[in-house]
Structure formats: C-alpha cells, structure tokens
C-alpha cells in the first residue's frame, strides 16, 4: 500500500470514529477501535448464553431454595420482610421451633428441630462411657411434648457430627473409627426413641458439614443406617437426607447427583433431600445467591436453608445467626432489606410452573411461567469463582408460543431490573433499567421464530438481573425504582440492552 493510500485509509477511519462518537453509538465505536489496533474481539468480550424454554414444564414453582437458620420468633422479623419471601423451611433449636410452629405453618414452611443444639455440643456426649440415658430422656420428653401440642416439626438429630466443634468424643471426633461408631449408635438409638413415641415422625439427617470424603462420611452412614433397624423392623435411614453445601453451586449439583447414584446402586430409598445449610459467605453477592438457588432447583432437592456467619461488626454472639436478620439477608440493627432480600423476593414472585433453563457457562437462571397471570419471570446470576466472568449475557427465551396468551400482536413486553451488590448496606429497590429510546422501563420485543433475545452488555458479575415478560399493555408490571448509579446507563439497540 502506497503512502497516499495509507493516509486515505487513516483519514477514513478517523472520520468514521468521529461520526460514530457524535451519534453516541459507543459500543460500535469501541469495536471499531479494537479492530483498528488489532485486538481480537474474543479477548475483550466473553459472552455467555442462557436459554429459557417456555415449552418445557419442570414442575410447580415451590420456592424450595428459600429457608433460614433459626432466625425468626413469633413476631420478628416483621411479616413485611418475611412473608414476601415465601420461605419453605426454618431450622432452629427446640425452643425456637416450638415457639414459631404456628407462624411457620401459616407461611407454608416447616421447622427442622436441631435436637443437638446447645448443651449437647460439650461433654459428656451421648454414649460417653456407654451411657445414653440423659440424651434419650431429653429426646423423649421433647418429642412427646411436641406430639401433645400438635406441633408439625421435623427432627434433625445432630448438627454437623463430622465436625469436632459439635461431636468430639475422645477429642478425635468423627475422624476416628470409635468416634464414628459412637455417632452411628447414637443415631440408631435416637431414631428408635423418636419412632416409639411418634411412628410417623419425620427424621432429618445426618446434616454433615461436608460430604466430599465419601468413604468415611455420608456413604458409610447410609450403609450403616440401611442395615440397622427399629423395633418395628424398619431401617433407621432418615426420611429426609440432609447435609450442608459450602463449596459452591457447581459442587452442590455434582454432590446431589453423586449421592443419588450411590443410593440407587446400593438399594437405598430416601424420598427427599434437604440442603439444610448452604452459602459460605456472611453477605454473598446477589449473583452468587442466584447461582445457589438455581443449583438447588435444578438438583430437585426438597428444601434448603441459608447458613449464617459472623459479620465484621458482629463477630461475637453468633454473628448474623439468631439476630432476626434472616441470616444476614436483612440489616442487623434495623431489619431492612439488603440486596440478597430482593433476589429472594423475585424468586418468590416466580409462580405457576418452572420452565427449562439451559446454560452455556457459569451464568445461570431460574425461570417460571404463570399462564393464568400472563407473565413469565427469569432470575439471572452466576458464580464466577476461578473463571473470567462474561462481559455480556444473552438471555434467549424460546417457544413463546407455548404461552399462547403471553404475546399480543406478535410482541411481548420485557422489563429488566438489576439487583446490584450493596454489600451490608440496605437496598430500597432494584435498579430499573431505562430504555433511552422510549424513556420507559420496558421494551416491546417482536417475537421472531418463536423467540426473543434479551442481551445484557456490560454485565456485572456481582449483580443479579430480573426479567419479566408480559403482553404489551396487558399485565401491569410494577415500575422499578431508578436507583442506578449516575454512571450507569442502559441503551436499547435492536433488542440490545447495554450498561455503560
């Protein structure tokens, strides 16, 4: 190329960039600039796709991912911040579950009673010196009292027996053969005691902290319980198999699948699984919370409960455990919603039937269709630990014709909101993303080939996103509060939301 041709090419590029800048089409400007300087686009934009198939019914939306660890009383937190979340389970000590049984049932939830809570986390432990008398007397009195009162509780025999914090016979805890054998015998005797009083009791366990060490952990427990029996000749397997998940959503999905495979291979039938503690952070980002909820839904577990941890300003007295903050979902002193609360709230708003979600990478979603209400809702987020998070996410909603009363005139209305990560601070409402073309909080998409594509550019890997679909001018969607930071702007370009 001659010097003259090079100069002409340079001038054309410069004037083109100036023209695009005047039009404020920044995303094209950026792409052109990157191509000019020779950077491959794959290196600067890692996009992911999440596909929602409205034609695939995944069962009734039951909100099984919402539960809390012993953090309500008969009046606290107030109904205004508990009821909208539609929790399905609570997990607490004897007194807590007894006091809140009527409130839990009114919410459609059940309380798992941690029988071992408190006194039983120090010596003497059940079976020390071959003596189980004190423990079994306590269990018998507790279960009989609940039966007399007509309480509908589930009995979680021991919390994290695989941790020396809660089970430490001979100091070696669960890590010695003698320690495991003592726990197994305690389990068998306790199941027999409970069933002798209430043959229909629901028993939960073993509530291990981790199940990665399958050989000495959950697998050995399952084989033991399968082969030991109560007075009626039933084995002592729990009615609800429970353990805790703190290693991420990917591990949760994998572990549930592995446990199902082991049980099938060994003739073990347990009708339900409860992840009765999940989340390894005191204040997780909304994105990580969504990743756990999506994994819980996809795994088909019966219930799950958010864990509680120390926070920086309340490292003593149990941290955000038992302070009526819903395990840190609310602020500690004022019980106001944090970002997590809004993710749980939108999750609760997913009603009707769940629909299929297929993910390409770490970005995940929970989605549901309520045909009667003419609305579909999608909650998007992800856990990007150890991977590069995407810079944009395409949400493909296909088979819209399966919701025959959702589109109108070949169009469907889309409202996108962002639940930003406010950390320990309160968040008054999700951030409404404005369509700059119409200055509205919604965009009417034309359905093409039975689908629409909602593209989120400038995707924030710490935030969760909510997407609501309804007929144009049909279902009334509450207008979100525009709380986006001053440097956040959303543009709409041919179905393309861009966060700048």
Q: Are 96 and 117 in contact (CB under 8 A)?
A: no
Per-residue pLDDT reduced to its tens digit, 141-171? 999 999 999 999 999 999 999 988 899 887 6
Which ranges constitute the DSSP H helices of 56-176? Answer: 79-82, 94-106, 133-149
Cβ contacts of 497 within 8 Å, gap of 6 or more? 416, 433, 454, 455, 456, 457, 490, 491
Distance CA 259, CA 214 (A): 9
Tokens of 337: 């919603």
User: In whole angstroms, what is the distance from residue 273 CA to residue 341 CA?
Assistant: 24
Summarize pLDDT for 21-32 with one digit per residue, the tens.
Answer: 433 333 333 333
pLDDT tier at 46 (50, 70, 90 boundaries)?
low
Contact 194, 204 (CB under 8 A): no
Chain-centroid distance of CA 41 in Å reads 33
Is omega for the bond preceding 187 within 30 degrees of 0, making it cis?
A: no
Answer with the residue of higher pLDDT: 2 or 165. 165
pLDDT grade for 216, boundaries at 50, 70 and 90: low
pLDDT in tens, 376-414: 999 999 999 889 999 999 999 999 988 888 998 899 999
Look at residue 461 and tell me whether its pLDDT is greater than 50. yes
Burial profile 28-66: b = 16 or more Cβ within 10 angstroms, e = fewer: ebeeeeeeeeeeeeeeeeebbbbbbbbeeebeebebbbb
Query: Residue 475: is its pLDDT beyond 90?
Result: no
Q: 3-class DSSP state for residue 89?
A: strand
Confidence of residue 92 (pLDDT cuts 50, 70, 90): very high
pLDDT at 213: 53
pLDDT band at 319 (very low <50, low <70, confident <90, very high): confident
Across 297-311, 319-333, 346-360, 433-447, least confident range: 433-447
Q: Which of 10-14, 113-117, 283-287, 403-407 has the lowest mean pLDDT?
A: 10-14
**Poorest-pLDDT segment among 74-88, 246-260, 435-449, 470-484:** 470-484
* pLDDT, tens only, 296-312: 999 999 999 999 998 86
Distance CA 168, CA 171 (A): 5
442 falls in which pLDDT band (50, 70, 90)?
confident
Q: Range with the lowest mean pLDDT among 40-54, 215-229, 471-485?
A: 471-485
Contact 490, 449 (CB under 8 A): no
pLDDT of residue 173: 83
b/e map 172-196, b = 16+ CB within 10 Å? ebbeeeebbebbbbbbbbbbbbbbe
pLDDT in tens, 362-378: 999 999 999 999 999 99
Does 119 have pLDDT greater than 70?
A: yes
Write the DSSP assignment of 147-187 as a string of letters.
HHHT--EEEE--S-TTSTTT--TTTTGGGSHHHHHHHHHHH
Residue with the two structure tokens 């003419």? 374
Q: How far is CA 184 from CA 42, 268, 272, in A?
A: 54, 17, 21
Going by C-alpha positions, the residue among 306, 342, 326 that lies closest to residue 422 is 342
Region of poorest pLDDT, from 4-13, 251-260, 400-409: 4-13
């Amino acid at each position: 190329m001659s010097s003259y041709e090079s100069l002409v090419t340079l001038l054309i590029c410069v004037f083109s960039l100036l023209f695009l800048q005047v039009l404020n089409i920044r995303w094209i400007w950026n792409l052109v600039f990157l191509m000019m300087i020779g950077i491959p686009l794959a290196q600067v934009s890692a996009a992911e796709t999440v596909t929602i198939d409205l034609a695939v019914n995944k069962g009734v939306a039951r909100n099984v991912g919402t539960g809390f660890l012993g953090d309500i009383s008969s009046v606290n937190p107030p109904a205004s911040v508990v009821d909208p979340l539609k929790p399905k389970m609570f997990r607490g000590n004897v007194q807590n579950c007894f006091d809140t049984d009527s409130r839990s049932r009114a919410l459609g939830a059940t309380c798992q009673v941690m029988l071992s809570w408190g006194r039983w986390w120090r010596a003497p432990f059940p079976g020390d010196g071959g003596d189980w008398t004190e423990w079994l007397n306590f269990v018998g009195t507790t279960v009989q009292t609940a039966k007399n009162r007509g309480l509908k509780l589930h009995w979680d025999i021991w919390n994290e027996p695989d941790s020396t914090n809660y089970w430490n016979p001979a100091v070696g805890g669960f890590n010695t053969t003698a320690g495991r054998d003592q726990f197994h015998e305690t389990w068998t005797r306790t199941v027999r005691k409970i069933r002798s009083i209430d043959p229909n009791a629901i028993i939960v366990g073993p509530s291990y902290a981790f199940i990665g060490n399958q050989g000495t952990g959950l697998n050995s427990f399952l084989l033991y319980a399968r082969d030991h029996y109560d007075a009626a000749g039933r084995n002592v397997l729990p009615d609800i198999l429970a353990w805790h998940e703190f290693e991420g959503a990917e591990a949760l999905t994998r572990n549930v699948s592995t446990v199902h495979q082991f049980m099938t291979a060994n003739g073990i039938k347990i009708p339900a699984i409860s992840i009765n503690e999940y989340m390894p952070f005191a204040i997780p980002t909304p994105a990580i919370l969504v990743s756990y909820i999506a994994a819980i839904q996809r795994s088909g577990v019966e219930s799950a409960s958010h864990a509680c941890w120390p926070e920086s300003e309340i490292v003593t007295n149990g941290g955000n455990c038992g302070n009526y903050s819903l395990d840190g979902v609310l602020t500690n002193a004022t019980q106001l919603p944090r970002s997590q609360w809004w993710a749980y709230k939108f999750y609760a708003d997913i009603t009707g039937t769940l629909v299929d979600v297929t993910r390409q990478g770490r970005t995940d979603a929970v989605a549901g269709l309520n045909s009667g209400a003419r609305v579909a809702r999608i909650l998007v987020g992800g856990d990007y630990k150890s991977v590069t998070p995407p810079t944009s996410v395409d949400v493909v909603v296909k088979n819209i014709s399966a919701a025959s009363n959702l589109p109108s005139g070949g169009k469907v209305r889309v409202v996108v909101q962002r639940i930003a990560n406010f950390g320990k601070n309160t968040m008054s409402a999700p951030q409404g993303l404005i369509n700059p073309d119409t200055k509205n909080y919604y965009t009417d998409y034309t359905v093409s080939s039975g689908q629409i594509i909602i593209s989120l550019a400038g995707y924030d890997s710490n935030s969760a996103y909510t997407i609501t679909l309804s007929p144009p001018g049909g279902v009334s969607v509450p207008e979100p509060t525009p709380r986006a930071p001053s440097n956040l702007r959303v543009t709409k370009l041919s179905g393309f939301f861009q966060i700048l």
